[in-house]
A and B are shown apart, each in its own frame.
Chain A
Amino acid sequence: MNPTRKRRLIIVLLVVAAAVVAVGLTVFALQQNMNYLFTPSQVQTGEARSYKTFRLGGMVKAGSIQRSSDSLKVTFTVVDASGSMPVEYTGILPDLFRDNQSVIATGHMDNARFIATEVLAKHDETYMPKELKDAMAKAHQGKQVNEAAGQDKPQ
């Protein structure tokens, strides 16, 4: 092998190695940080069993919000058309969090209870995140997902 070719081979090998490292790191980082979204009924059928951390999406059941009397702990129930899931959260809830509001909570299961580390509600009261709308529609094919919530903000 002449010197020019040898140099080229080294360069090509270095580039390939760098690309492999880059792709490997990216895939690793993606895998570590991918969060799936499930609705309560999907969780109850066991779809979320293989994920430690996931996101739970649905509506806050009316009258289910309960504050603890001496700490920031709050419990509420997230429902979709046929399932429900009790959620526990410690901290301050977002401004638009209230009854019948669509929320997305990130956290993990502890027995039959979902322990949330983060709770998000949308900034606009009539807007429902598209992914949540889709997930709820998918969980209940054929059933009507709350039509008003499905509409985007009127422009």
Chain B
Amino acid sequence: MTPELGQLALILALLLAFTQGVLPLVGAWRNNRALMAVARTAATGQAVFVTMAFLLLVWAFLQFDFSVQYVADNSNLALPWYYRIAAVWGAHEGSLLLWIFILNLWTLALAVLSRRLPEVFIARVLGVLGLVSVGFLAFIIFTSNPFMRLLPMPPDGGDLNPVLQDPGMTFHPPVLYMGYVGFSVAFAFSIAALLGGELEQAWVRWARPWTNVAWGFLSAGIVAGSWWAYAELGWGGWWFWDPVENASFMPWLVGAALIHAQAVTEKRGGLRAWTILLSIFAFSLSLLGTFLVRSGVLTSVHAFASDPKRGLFILCFLAVVVGGSLLLYALRAPKVAGGKPFSVVSRETAILIGNLMLTVAAAMVLLGTLFPLLGDALNLGKISVGPPYFGFLFTLLMIPVVLLLPFGPYLRWGKSDTPVLKRVMWRAGLAAVACAIVAALLTDGEGKAIAGTAAAVWCGFGTLLYVFKRWREMPAGRRYPAEMAGMLLAHFGVGVFLAGVLLTNALSVERDVRMSPGQTSSIGGYDFRFDGVQHTTGPNWQGDQGTVTVMRSGREIAVMHPQKRTYTRGQVQTESAINPGLFRDLYVALGEPMDRTQPEGAWALRLYDKPFVRWIWAGGLFMMLGGFFAAADRRFRTKRVAETEAVPAAALQESRA
């Protein structure tokens, strides 16, 4: 009975989403306050029903309701309860329900926290979000219903894909979706601004905290995904330029450009059309990401294939959203270049260059990701684009961004003094060169390690210089407003990230070896002794567990237990063992027994020593914190004014400050 209630809730939610999408927009157009007032109520009602549907699916999983096809496919009696909850978003239908659930969370948050915004504007924003919601709810109901019944009911279900049975997987999709879907808010703000034609800066100020939070979540989601790939896929890599990784990375790049462009628009009035365009792109790329993952058109780890109807639906939806919003943009975008003038040496110029590089990088990734589809359509054969393409071009494009980064906080709006900048350049440059020389001596002139150290010190030390300057010059309590703290955290994070990427790349020792019990293998100064393999069992798997003792100069450092699991339906899954550390990770994974009939004998093992690998994710987390801090600035909360007239004055005051 409950699955039918879930389905009913989804249908009611669709009707409410339709109401939320149409009536307020009509009301805003006709200036009818009654119709505009529908927006909040409809949004709340929709959220209630979607939450209900979501909870009913969770309930079906917890109750082992195998009469529901989706539950029967993705769980079984032996699956622990926490993975049964994660299984809700473990496959296509449920992950779409999660998508729409999160969209409703964002809409609800917006409806609650936007009481001070002009009524017309918020009616349009909620209306646009309602229309997005209509698209996704229709998609769920017509093509991928998670509540489909399976009769007769099987005694036990299938299994959740074993690669998803990992704690990292419980967090990765919800957090990533928080980011993906969060860009729909920035998108709705831009569309509302285009519809209203009120292109003064006010709307950007309102959109900024939302965009920053969404970008922060997206950063966290990508970090979680990267960590999961490292720990769970058993290859010890953290980024593969896989189509689906790219799908999440493109909105991130455009989002990073967007939060900087928004700052220019808000404070100086410039780049107005560009900011709108970037909001449209960020959300379109999020949709494209969903399309790439769900349609199975590209071969990737995430492609749980589905029928072509679904791919076609998302493609049409994508065409309507992108086409419609670009058409609206063409008709209504501000034609006259606005904003205060700025000279060559100014914060605006630096942000412009950064924006250019980030968007070109996103376009480059898009080209590489879609090229196989393009080649297929043009009958060029079955092509795939190798990771070096992305690695080479991305590095090239990011060099200017990294070079400009330490100057960011020092640059002023409009026009900046060069002596200050020169001083920064000298100090950060000297520090970078000094550390690079030390790195060269320590690593025997390893090129990437030197470049990594130099780039990391350049960004990190450059940012710290500014932190120190503020500390010295400003009175306590006014040193680091949240917005500035956010920027400094994120920029510092770029330095940490660079150190992680380049040092790991240069100094990692990765070796696949064949080892008999008792044999020792030395890697990066560590001795790995293989102590054989024992049989072991878990709640829904059985497998072989190896024991590897790690020693350094005769002293025991760690005993590691990599596993090779066989799940109930026969899927094999490698569970690596990781000994974490701030400066290095030791990573051991079981390959396969040399002789399948004798698992006690020799095995193939992967032994890795990965220095600084944790800095990659630490850098990403710093960037996430940056996004959250910046969004928390008091300025975004207190200066929201009901009357639009009051806003330009406030903005003027701010930009002078």
Contact = CB atoms under 8 A, between A and B. Distances in A.
A34 B388 CA distance: 10
Contact of B393 (A26, A125, A131, A155): A26
A35 B382 CA distance: 8
A25 B299 contact: no
Interface stretch (B300-308, B317-325, B486-494, B619-627): B300-308
A62 to B, nearest CB: 15
B381 interface: yes
A130 B384 contact: no
Contact of B163 (A123, A129, A152): A123
A29 B512 contact: no
B512 A152 contact: no
A47 B576 CA distance: 40
Interface in B182-230: none
Contacts of A153: 304-305
A98 to B, nearest CB: 9
Interface in B326-371: 360, 364, 367-368, 371
Interface string A41-62: 0000000000000010100000
B393 to A, nearest CB: 5
B460 interface: no
B371 A30 contact: yes
Interface string B598-612: 000000101000000
Interface residues of B, number: 52
Contacts of A35: 383-386
A145 interface: no
Interface in A118-155: 123-125, 127, 129-132, 134-135, 152-155
A132 B372 CA distance: 13
Given A37-B384, A154-B73, A26 B367 contact: yes
A35 to B, nearest CB: 5
Given A33-B385, A72-B514, A91-B512, A155 B91 contact: yes
Contacts of B383: 34-37
Given A34-B386, A35-B386, A92 B301 contact: no
B234 interface: yes
B572 A96 contact: yes
Contacts of A132: 299
A113 interface: no
Contacts of B301: 123
A95 interface: yes
Contacts of B163: 123
Given A124-B161, A152-B296, A155-B91, A22 B592 contact: no
B426 interface: no
B207 to A, nearest CB: 30
B571 interface: yes
Which of A26, A38, A57 gathers the greatest number of chain B CB atoms within 10 Å? A26
A74 to B, nearest CB: 9
Contacts of B592: 92-93
Given A35-B384, A72-B604, A130-B297, A95 B234 contact: yes
B646 interface: no
A155 B572 contact: no
A111 interface: no
A29 B304 contact: no
A92 B604 contact: yes
Contacts of A152: 296, 305-307
Nearest to B393: A29
A67 interface: yes
B368 A30 contact: yes
B382 A135 contact: yes
B44 interface: no
Nearest to A30: B389
Contacts of B381: 36-37
B594 A125 contact: no
B109 interface: no
A4 interface: no
Contacts of A55: 382, 384
B297 A95 contact: no
A93 B92 CA distance: 28
Contact of A37 (B73, B382, B393): B382
B517 interface: no
B286 interface: no
Contacts of A134: 376, 382
Nearest to B385: A33
A27 to B, nearest CB: 10
A67 B594 contact: yes
A131 B572 contact: no
Contacts of B591: 72, 92-93
A65 B341 CA distance: 70
Contacts of A127: 303-305
B73 A155 contact: yes
A131 B512 contact: no
Interface of A: 22, 25-26, 29-30, 32-38, 55, 57, 67, 69-72, 91-93, 95-96, 123-125, 127, 129-132, 134-135, 152-155
20 contacts: A26-B364, A33-B386, A33-B387, A33-B389, A34-B384, A55-B382, A57-B382, A67-B594, A70-B514, A71-B514, A72-B514, A91-B512, A92-B512, A93-B591, A95-B234, A130-B296, A131-B384, A132-B299, A152-B307, A155-B70
7 tightest A-B contacts by CB? A152-B305, A92-B591, A37-B382, A33-B386, A33-B389, A129-B299, A95-B572
